[in-house]
Amino acid sequence: MTAKLIDGVAIGKELRGEIKQGVDVLEASGCKPGLAVILVGENPASQTYVKNKEKSSVEAGMKSELIRLPATVSEQELLANVNKLNNDDSIHGILVQLPLPDHIDEDLVIQAIDPSKDVDGFHPQNVGKMMIGQETFLPCTPHGIMEMLKRSGIEIAGKHAVIIGRSNIVGKPMGQLLLQKDATVTYCHSRTKDLPSFTKQADILIVAIGRAKFVTDEHIKDGAVVIDVGMNRDENGKLCGDVDFEKAKKVASAITPVPGGVGPMTITMLLKNTLQSAEMACRKEKSN
Check residue 170 and give left, alpha or beta (phi > 0: left; psi -120 to 50: alpha). alpha
For residue 31, the one-letter residue type is: C
- Taking alpha carbons only, the member of 37, 29, 84 closest to residue 56 is 37
Distance (Å, whole) CA 248 – CA 97 = 32
What are the phi and psi torsion angles at 204 (to 5°)? -130, 120
Distance (Å, whole) CA 149 – CA 227 = 9
CA angle 207/187/126 to nearest 5° reads 90
Distance (Å, whole) CA 136 – CA 126 = 6
Distances from the Cα of 288 to the Cα of 109, 111, 284, angstroms: 30, 27, 6
What are the phi and psi torsion angles at 34 (to 5°)? -125, 135
Distance (Å, whole) CA 60 – CA 63 = 9
Residues forming the active site: 53, 97, 120
